[in-house]
A and B are shown apart, each in its own frame.
Chain A
């Protein structure tokens, strides 16, 4: 009788089990949603960190100037909106890309100057002790907008901790830009998505009189990004995860350097002296058929070079022997100095600029200039405005960090600013060095930084 009772399902048991089942399914759905999909209902429930703006706050912001005119226009409009909502004031200084780093470093050292800086790459990791903890804002934004891409966590958090010292605000994504008609003329429907196919396509283009062009000079954006992509795609890296063992002199690097010689043979003469503007000029003047670039070629061609614009196509960097995307794009980080007299206003401002109403408009009107760092913004309609800007939304998802696979800090920053990887490739392509000698030279330089 007792046993029978145990097997029988009573009404009370049914209700309990049903409730548990429903709750279980509900929880499972909830966790699946929160893991794999952004949930607007949940996002709406995330409450912003309480930040009481200081009285008569005046925020001084230092940021890079963009080549897309609407970037500054939308940024300034969003800033005005914030001023109106809060009653605080903002003074924004725009500087060229390269100059932001030195000015921010000086201000960090002196302990005075701007409150917020929009810097590049691993700038915040050069002086982490001078920066305000922005974990509350980062956590809030991550929860609300589907989470940060893994590489953004790497860039934003102090290495080995969960403390956010910067908010990766966006990436000036880099993609392959090519001339559709010339690629067809060379016998390809489109540029292949793997490196061996890519080289074959470039060789066919060269044979047809349409050379390629990739910067091998000290180009902050264009030089660093494509050479790192080539190195990482072949399995090479500068340093191991421990940040001490130099790994550049490896068989993977040698393979990458051997392969790049084939690509170099398809390039136009003079790339060794190319800086960031040169490939734009060469592409827009019809000298080259393929290059890697942000959306500046697309943007400039929209208004001034309609013929080039019609024939322009973009795609993400081809995948190499490692079998997965391994790219580098320029990433910008917003950070707040501890010396700011208005820390709450600074954090409030950054939170405001990341909110969908502002960030969405910023992305939408800059035509793919800024690649999102929060996963939810991947689906913004802005990315579908033109098929040539759609690949740019993949850039952050596909990228690694400079100094991979080691930590970020003064060593990775020095290696980048000294163009160790770019020079290694240039040594092989134009300097006449053997791949082994170039890798050894790079190893010597890296040892100096990673002591």
Chain B
């Protein structure tokens, strides 16, 4: 019994603990830096892993000297709208490609995947032309409409894989009962694909939340910036990095994503492992 416990400790708990330390250390570092004063940060005689004198100055700087809360609200708006737009389009696209099987559908599936592989650094100039022509430059809608260009291919590809695991017989039964394609899609496919839809949604939300290049390019006004761009532009000044407020911003900026993951983790795992067990 003792031997079994020992074995479990070395095989399970110890690797798990090491893994947790590895994953959580950046968060701890952000947390510790947030509550340290500049003097403490620059004092190398002190143990850098501990907080010796707690200070709220960095939080004061972040919340009262920068429009951080506004950036958070902007990021929420952009992440939610672009996720909704992307999921709506991807669901229809994935279903069409996977189930209707029209001529060239498999080629289209591969084509969509290739779209995802095109790096944003190549796309941002043509996209900028469109943004200027649509007169949405320096508007949050520019991001809400541009992000689906990389979210839709990814979500479509993910959902295609998921739809593939749903037995066709379910649809055929519904058809025999007189259901239309749209009815089947809405009443059979969507409920069964909920874990897949959620995991695609989580991915889309996270990618939109963290996106930097387009947010930097298409937004100018400080009050319209997202968290990722706002923190860098306001708290990195030349060769001076305001580490305290930066870490505080990174910490508070990652909380919503962590919450989203923690709420939907079960669906997320199910979405990644397949739909229905036959």
Residues of A at under 8 Å CB distance from B? 60, 62, 64-67, 91, 93-97, 99, 102-103, 106-107, 109-110, 112-114, 172, 219, 221-222, 276-277, 279-281, 284-287, 293-294, 296, 300, 304-305
Q: Chain A nearest CB: distance from B44 CB in Å?
A: 5
Contact of B239 among A109, A110, A276 (CB under 8 A): A276
A sample of 27 inter-chain contacts (CB < 8 A) reads A64-B238, A65-B234, A66-B237, A67-B237, A67-B239, A67-B240, A91-B220, A93-B222, A95-B216, A95-B233, A96-B232, A97-B238, A99-B232, A102-B217, A107-B128, A113-B132, A113-B137, A114-B220, A221-B238, A222-B239, A276-B238, A277-B239, A277-B240, A285-B43, A296-B238, A304-B39, A305-B42
Write the B122-162 contact mask toward A (1 if CB under 8 angstroms, else 0): 00110011001000010000000000000000000000000
The CA-CA distance from A94 to B230 in the complex, in Å, is 10
CA of A65 to CA of B214, assembled, Å? 19
Q: Does B221 contact A (CB under 8 A)?
A: yes
Residues of B within 8 A of A286 (CB): 44
Whether A66 lies near B238 (C-beta < 8 A) is: yes
A109 is contacted by which of B125, B216, B220 (Cβ under 8 Å)?
A: B125
B128 touching A106 by the CB < 8 A rule? yes
Q: How far is the CA of A97 from the CA of B129 in the complex (A)?
A: 24
Inside 8 A of B124's CB, which chain A residues have their CB?
A: 106
Complex-state Cα separation, A64 to B232, whole angstroms: 12
- Contact B237–A65 (Cβ < 8 Å): yes
User: Residues of B within 8 Å of A, CB-based: how many?
Assistant: 25
Q: Which residues of B contact A304 (CB under 8 A)?
A: 38-39
**CB distance B240 to A300 under 8 Å?**
yes
* 8 Å CB contact of A172 from B221, B238, B241: B238
Q: B42, A281: Cβ atoms under 8 Å?
A: yes
Q: Report the nearest A residue to B44, measured CB to CB.
A: A285
Nearest Cβ distance between residue A69 and chain B, in whole angstroms? Answer: 9
Which residues of chain B come closer than 8 Å to A112, judged between CB atoms?
128, 132, 137
Min distance, Cβ B120 to any Cβ of chain A, angstroms: 12
B216 proximity list for chain A (CB < 8 A): 95, 99, 102-103
**Within the complex, what minimum Cβ distance (angstroms) separates B229 from chain A?**
9
Question: Interface code B241-259, partner A: CB below 8 Å = 1, 0 otherwise?
Answer: 1000000000000000000
Known interface pairs A65-B237, A110-B132, A277-B239; A93-B221 also in contact (CB < 8 Å): yes
Known contacts A113-B137, A284-B42: does B239 contact A94 (CB below 8 Å)? Answer: no
Task: Name the B residues within 8 Å of A280 (CB-CB).
Answer: 239-240
B36-73 Cβ-contact flags toward A at 8 Å (1 or 0):
00110011100000000000000000000000000000
Say yes or no: A287-B44 contact (C-beta < 8 A), given A294-B238, A304-B38: yes
Closest A residue to B39 by CB, please name it. A304
Known contacts A285-B42, A287-B44; decide if A106 and B125 are in contact (CB<8 Å).
yes
Instruction: Report the bound CA distance from A276 to B43 in whole Å.
Output: 19
User: Can you name 8 extra interface pairs (CB under 8 A) apart from A112-B132, A277-B240?
Assistant: A66-B238, A67-B238, A91-B220, A94-B222, A96-B233, A113-B137, A293-B239, A304-B38
Is B236 in the interface zone, CB < 8 Å from A? yes
Within 8 A of A (CB), among B155-209: none
Most chain B CB neighbours (cut-off 10 Å) among A97, A107, A110: A110
Q: Which residues of A contact B220 (CB under 8 A)?
A: 60, 62, 91, 93, 114
B221:A91 contact, CB within 8 angstroms: yes
Query: Separation in Å of the A278 CB from the closest CB of chain B?
Result: 9
Q: Which of chain B's residues have a CB closer than 8 A to the CB of A305? A: 39, 42
Closest A residue to B213 using CB positions: A102
| Residues of chain A with a CB closer than 8 A to B240's CB | 67, 277, 280, 296, 300
Residues of A within 8 A of B241 (CB): 277
A429–B236 Cα distance when bound, in Å, is 29
Asked if A94 contacts B233 (CB within 8 A), the reply is yes
**Across the two chains, which residue of chain A brings its CB closest to B232?**
A96
> How distant is the Cα of A183 from the Cα of B129 in the complex, in angstroms?
56
With the chains together, A26 CA to B216 CA distance in Å? 58
Determine how close the nearest CB of chain A comes to the CB of B41; give it in whole angstroms.
8
- Nearest Cβ distance between residue B60 and chain A, in whole angstroms? 15
Chain B residues whose C-beta falls within 8 Å of the C-beta of A96 in the assembled complex? 232-233, 236-237
Interface centre among B38, B125, B232, B236 (most CB of A within 10 A): B236
> Which A residues are in CB contact (< 8 Å) with B236?
65, 96
Q: Which chain A residue has the least Cβ–Cβ distance from B238?
A: A67
Q: Are A106 and B238 in contact, CB atoms less than 8 angstroms apart? A: no
User: Which of A94, A96, A304 has most chain B Cβ within 10 Å?
Assistant: A96
What chain A residues lie within 8 Å of B137 (beta carbons)?
112-113
Query: CA–CA, A97 to B237, complex, Å?
Result: 8
Tell me which residues across on chain B come within 8 A of A67, comparing CB atoms.
Answer: 237-240
Contacts of A219 in B (CB 8 A): 239
Q: Which residue of B has the minimal Cβ distance to A97?
A: B238
Top 3 nearest A-B pairs by Cβ distance?
A: A276-B239, A67-B240, A67-B238
A277 and B235 CA atoms in complex are apart in Å by 12
Cβ contacts under 8 Å, B238 to chain A:
64-67, 97, 172, 221, 276, 294, 296
B9-52: CB near A (< 8 Å → 1, else 0) gives 00000000000000000000000000000110011100000000
Assembled-state Cα–Cα distance A103/B229 (Å): 13
Complex-state Cα separation, A286 to B44, whole angstroms: 8
Looking at the assembled complex, report how far the CB atom of B181 sits from the nearest CB atom of chain A, in whole angstroms: 42
- Of the candidates B39, B137, B241, the one having the most CB atoms from chain A within 10 angstroms of its own CB is B241
Minimum CB–CB distance from B24 to chain A (whole Å) comes to 24
Tell me whether B239 and A65 are in contact (CB under 8 A).
Answer: no
Most buried by A among B137, B220, B233, B234: B220
Contacts of A222 in B (CB 8 A): 239
**B37 CB → nearest A CB, Å:** 9
| Residue among B42, B128, B216 with most chain A CB within 10 A | B42
Report B-chain residues with C-beta under 8 Å of the C-beta of A95: 216, 233
C-alpha spacing A107/B217, complex, angstroms: 9
Q: For residue B233, which residues in chain A have a CB less than 8 angstroms away from its CB?
A: 65, 94-96, 99
* Bound Cα distance from A6 to B217, whole angstroms: 82
How far in angstroms is the closest Cβ of chain A from B26? 18
Known: A99-B233, A221-B238, A294-B238. A110 touches B128 (CB 8 A): yes
A102 to B42, CA, bound (A): 32
